[in-house]
Amino acid sequence: MQKILFVCLGNICRSPLAEGIMLKLISDKNLTLEIDSAGTSNFHAGEKPDNRTVLNAKKHGVDLTRLRARQFSEKDFDDFDAIYVMDKSNMTNVLAHAKNKEQEQKVELFLNTLFPNQNMEVPDPYFGGEEGFEDVFNLIYSTCEKMIEKYS
Ligand code: 4NP
């Protein structure tokens, strides 16, 4: 079974949203994929996702209430086949833990699945307004749909 990890900074907005959307699509399509998410920081470890993210996802039929934030660790390189990061600073922080080329090659920018080779970043909605959460939901949802095709 393929194991996929999503990583952002706090693990309370972008990466838990990707996790929740993937879990829903996987269940809708009866696929077997293992999904988790983590943050490069420990700022929110143990917490539920940001309330604005939870409410926006709920509006779209995605339940995030069971998820809890945790910090990314070196062991994740052993446990996961692919590690999708939301932005370039996440990329730098994750790669700093890689022990070899094989581990480095597991790391990819999340949006490259939807926009190959564009190296685009998922904007961090944390410090912005409500519309930022809606935009991020749509961007992450479209990318997850594409990812499901890739892993089907
Ligand atoms: P995330 O958003 O990386 O998408 O979970 C953030 C959440 C919290 C903070 C920054 C980004 N923070 O600085 O606490």
pLDDT tens readout for residues 84-126: 999 999 999 999 999 999 999 999 999 999 999 999 999 999 9
Q: Containing domain of residue 44, as a range?
A: 2-151
54-77 pLDDT per residue, tens: 999 999 999 999 999 999 999 999
Q: Which residues contact 45 (CB under 8 A, 6 or more apart)?
A: 11, 39, 69, 70, 71
Residue closest to 137 by CA, chosen among 123, 127, 148, 150: 123
Report which protein residue has its CA nearest ligand 1's atom 13.
10
Q: Which is the catalytic residue, given 36, 76, 124, 144?
A: 124
11 lines ligand 1 (CB under 6 A): yes
Any ligand 1 atom below 6 A from CB of 65? no
What CATH number does the domain containing 125 carry? 3.40.50.2300
Percent of the chain scoring above 70 in pLDDT: 100
User: Does this model's pTM top 0.95?
Assistant: yes
If you measure from the C-alpha of residue 30 to the centroid of ligand 1, how many angstroms do you get, rounded to a whole number? 31
- Report how many domains make up the chain: 1
